[in-house]
Amino acid sequence: MKKYKLRLDLKLELGHVTLYRIEKRSNGQLGGYIEKESNLSQVGDAWVSGNARVSKIDEIVNFVVAFSFSITITPQNIAIGCKLKTRREWLRVTKKQAVEMGLKAELYPKYKALIKAGMAMVPEAKQKRR
């Protein structure tokens, strides 16, 4: 059974991308916005909440989390807020380092999970052989 449905009547038009609000089938709770069902699994506990937005355009994933930093993931890099690092560099960021960059300590596990989910959606760029 699917855990959510796209609410086609509740949408955001962002340039050439349309995002749809999601609704839990179990209790009618509204979640955030996604572009299409492939942006959020119908299996497991993952959820997009509040006014958060998830979209994937041409191998780029962008998570916009309300009252916090946005996360943009490309095949080469990840930008969180205005900080740009390689994918591997972000995976090595500790909770202490994240807090020093301005992230609330309680949000660290959520950001780590979003980074890993986004990396799974956007495969790493293959290195060209010389």
In eight-state DSSP terms, residue 102 is T
For residue range 25-83, what is the model confidence (pLDDT) as tens digits? Answer: 999 999 988 888 877 878 777 788 888 787 765 565 666 665 466 777 878 888 777 78
Q: Left (φ > 0), alpha (ψ -120 to 50) or beta: where does 74 sit?
A: beta
pTM of the model: 0.50
Report CA torsion sign: 78, 84, 85, 86: positive
**Domain coordinates in residue numbering, the chain:** 1-57, 71-123
Q: Given this model, what pLDDT does residue 57 score?
A: 56
Q: What is the pLDDT of residues 80-108, one digit of tens each?
A: 777 888 888 988 999 999 899 888 888 88
Report which of residues 83 and 11 the model is more confident about: 11
Other CB atoms within 10 Å distance of the CB of residue 4: 21
User: How far lies 75's CA from each of 60, 82, 93, 117, 118, in Å?
Assistant: 7, 18, 19, 13, 10
